[in-house]
Amino acid sequence: AVSQVTVRDALNQALDEELERDERVFLLGEEVAQYDGAYKISRGLWKKYGDKRVIDTPISEMGFAGIAVGAAMVWLRPVCEFMTFNFSMQAIDQVINSAAKTYYMSAGSIAVPIVFRGPNGAAAGVGAQHSQCFAAWYGHCPGLKVVSPWSSEDAKGLLKASIRDDNPVVMLESELLYSVPFEMSDQAQSKEFVIPIGKAKIERQGTHITLVSHSRSVGHCVEAAAVLSKEGVECEVVNLRTIRPMDIETVEASVVKTNHLVTVEGGWPQFGVGAEICARIMEGPAFNYLDAPAVRVTGADVPMPYAKILEDNCIPQVKDIVFAVKKALNI
């Protein structure tokens, strides 16, 4: 059986199940407890688990991220919510220097099992300071794992895997997907459902061109594939799910099949996720199978404008993906 579940409810389900499963798991951040979460991701959890497990913090990312990292070092399993990842910049020293590097610098004697999670990338009409995608930033750093879910199944399976992982994991969600319902199977809704970190998923089989994407852009790729299918072009859509470690093998296998590649992301072009995919493909065995240069579809290389029409022009839309596919296929 299959039911419709929003990304918000999938995340809530995952948190509830993991809090219940392991008493070392706790959630902290701004508004996560009494208010039920700024985006209602933690709805009902404070009432159910109480003050020790779901903790409202002062507005100090550096402070509560530091508390969370310290707790993880003594083998608790904190889930640290940033109200948006733009605010994780306040705590970047904790995330990179305290969380990501400690396992290596302690020669494997101090693990830091922590999850930093919250909305990432552009929402709607929140201006330049609240519209950045941090996938490339965090994906750049060894010692972190970075996941970027699209569907409800992604969100639930990746959050559960992240909480159970003994390493620091950055989970980049999309605020604009929270209310979107996706089909979820009974299996995906079971308590033991986890998605392995580092494995991409093929969302749509195709033979003419490979579209690789993560987070909200996956939905745009699926839509573009439906439009192009009417014109006789069959796109294979790869949902990365994980940014680091990146599942380049799945992308390579797809490129070997289709001989064409387009990457799609909401982040900036320079040193972006798509740039990394293109470089890895060029360096690897799939390069000889490419019949045309790979094409990147990205956010515009500007701070995000506030005006809606300008914002729409800065975020990759379905028409931009269709245009890129036709360019790559020379049609």
Q: Which residues contact 189 (CB under 8 A, 6 or more apart)?
A: 3, 5, 13, 156
Query: Which residue among 31, 130, 140, 234 is the active-site one?
Result: 130
Q: Are 158 and 198 in contact (CB under 8 A)?
A: no
Which is it for strands 295-297 and 261-264: parallel, antiparallel or unpaired? parallel
Q: Are 213 and 238 in contact (CB under 8 A)?
A: yes
Identify the CA nearest to 252 among candidates 282, 286, 278.
286
71-80 burial, b for 16+ CB within 10 Å, e for fewer?
A: bbbeebbbbb
d(Cα 97, Cα 99) in Å, to the nearest integer?
6
208 classed as catalytic: no
d(Cα 308, Cα 240) in Å, to the nearest integer?
28
Task: Output the CA angle 67-73-78, nearest 5 degrees.
Answer: 55
DSSP 282-328: HHSGGGGG-SS--EEE---SSPPPSSHHHHHHHS--HHHHHHHHHHH
Query: Which residue among 17, 18, 30, 61 is the active-site one?
Result: 61
30 classed as catalytic: no
Q: Are 272 and 240 in contact (CB under 8 A)?
A: no
Question: Which are the catalytic amino acids?
Answer: 61, 130
